[in-house]
Amino acid sequence: MRYERSSKLFMDAKQTIPGGVNSPVRAFKSVGGTPVFMKSAKGAELLDVDGNKYIDYINSWGPQILGHAFEPVITAIKKVADKGTSFGTPSEIEVEIANLITSMVPGVDQIRMVNSGTEACMSAIRLARGFTGREKIIKFAGCYHGHSDAFLIQAGSGAMTFGTPNSPGVTQGTAKDTLLAQYNNLESVDAIISEHGPDIAAMIIEPVAGNMGCIPPASGFLESIRALCTEKGIILIFDEVMTGFRLAPGGAQEYYGITADITCFGKIIGGGLPVGAFAARHEIMNHLAPAGPVYQAGTLSGNPLAMAAGYKMVKHLHSNRDLYVTLEKTTARLEDGIRDALANSGHSFVINRVGSMISIHFTATPVVDFDTAKTGDNDTFKRFFHHMLDHGIYLPPSAYETWFVCSEIGEEEIEKTLEAVRKFD
């Protein structure tokens, strides 16, 4: 593979874009080398500016569950674009998508559209605080809920990739209201609640952690925190930015049979355009402006292009439940294949997977939380990443990110991927 045009673009980009990228992990800093600049994508495949093709296991970090340039979504975007791209007024498609989503996701009566997952989580916290009249929140180490101040405390994903899970710029005042528990560790949650119980407005969690690699919830863990939150009057927020519409049409809540109080969405909900949303039962959403006093707003919220794209994608998922069975089978085949391929490689590794979310940590320690995720050997991951890239397989350029499998990845793509894994030493 040759990456000349990408290298040239990266050098140019660094002049006018901080670090050369608009989102840090894309800079390849933790794996080294030059980020690959993409030109187009179709189905399971990415094409870069040097003409290299890749089987894509990022899928835009989740949204492209149906593969790139999914025809009904593209057609819908073109059709809507001809009629105007933003009105700053309500429009019919917003009602349609709200009806669709509230019919699909357990426990959700109303939904507010925003422009990113960050905005969704940030607004959900404000709503929980306004609803309960309390100020503190619990988050879990290694979970990432976007880049707003309250969440950049022991955050996973890009923050951890660059070794800055606690970002400069977050004030101590903000940080003191974020209480930190350990993922899959009920005692750590109990200890915080014993000390701060009456001051805690919300507990926010990724029901499947996807920003310290993929980490499934331990059996009974989500049930236990659900029960604790109910008992203590704490609002349970599921950040389903990754898991929403990916694990099942009703997300992790349908998959695990547990209902949160507030749910945050992003990624798939926008069909590849910038969208986030937060949703809850009437009792909570009635507190949101203009129905109630908790303020939140946005010029491009409910944007017609984004709503049309999201509607088409979510509707397709709603009508094609079999797709989840296929995604599960494909990703299980990938998991088994990688295990076999690396069995005699001499590398210690852990593969975690839930549905079509999967990742590999090069460690001998079971990866169940942030501390165990950090035991991964980054030098091996780096070599693995570049080996796969050079064989036309595009993985997330960080060991702290999850791979997302799309429905366009079939037997041929899996076989090509495994062929590359078999050559890794």
Contact positions toward ligand HOZ, by CB under 6 A? 23, 25-26, 61, 157-158, 211, 401
Query: Which is closer to ligand HOZ, CB of 19 or CB of 107?
Result: 19
Alpha helices in 262-410 (DSSP H): 282-285, 304-319, 322-342, 370-373, 378-390
Of the residues 144, 183, 311, 400, which is catalytic? 144
* Strands of 38-42's sheet in order across: 38-42, 45-48, 53-56, 393-394
- Cβ–Cβ under 8 Å, residues 125 and 137: yes
Q: Report the nearest approach of ligand HOZ to the CB of residue 237 (Å).
A: 18
Least distance between ligand HOZ and beta carbon 147 (Å): 9
Helix axes 92-104, 304-319, angle to 10 degrees: 30
For ligand HOZ, the closer of residues 31 and 193 by Cβ is 31
Please, what is the minimum distance in Å from the beta carbon of residue 197 to ligand HOZ?
31
What's the CA gap between 301 and 318, in Å, rounded?
A: 23
Pairwise CA distance, residues 129 & 133, whole Å: 5
Q: How many Å from the N-terminal Cα to the C-terminal Cα in the chain?
A: 19
Q: How far is the CB of 242 from ligand HOZ (least distance, A)?
A: 8
Which of 29, 136, 139, 267 does the annotation list as catalytic? 267
CB of 362 to ligand HOZ, least distance (A): 19
50 flagged as catalytic:
no
* 48, 56, 177, 239: the active-site residue: 239
Of residues 177 and 240, the one with the C-beta less far from ligand HOZ: 240
The residue (of 213 and 304) whose beta carbon lies closer to ligand HOZ is 213
Q: Which is nearer to ligand HOZ, 132 or 402 (CB)?
A: 402
CA–CA dist 172, 129 (Å, integer)? 19
Whether a cis peptide bond, with omega within 30° of 0, leads into 290 is yes
Verify whether residue 183 is a known catalytic residue: no
Question: Is 336 a catalytic site residue?
Answer: no
**Residue 100 buriedness (CB in 10 A; 0-12 / 13-18 / 19+):** middle
Cα distance between residue 362 and residue 357, in whole Å? 17
Question: 40 φ, ψ to 5°?
Answer: -160, 170
Residue nearest to ligand HOZ as judged by C-beta position: 23
Residues forming the active site: 144, 239, 267
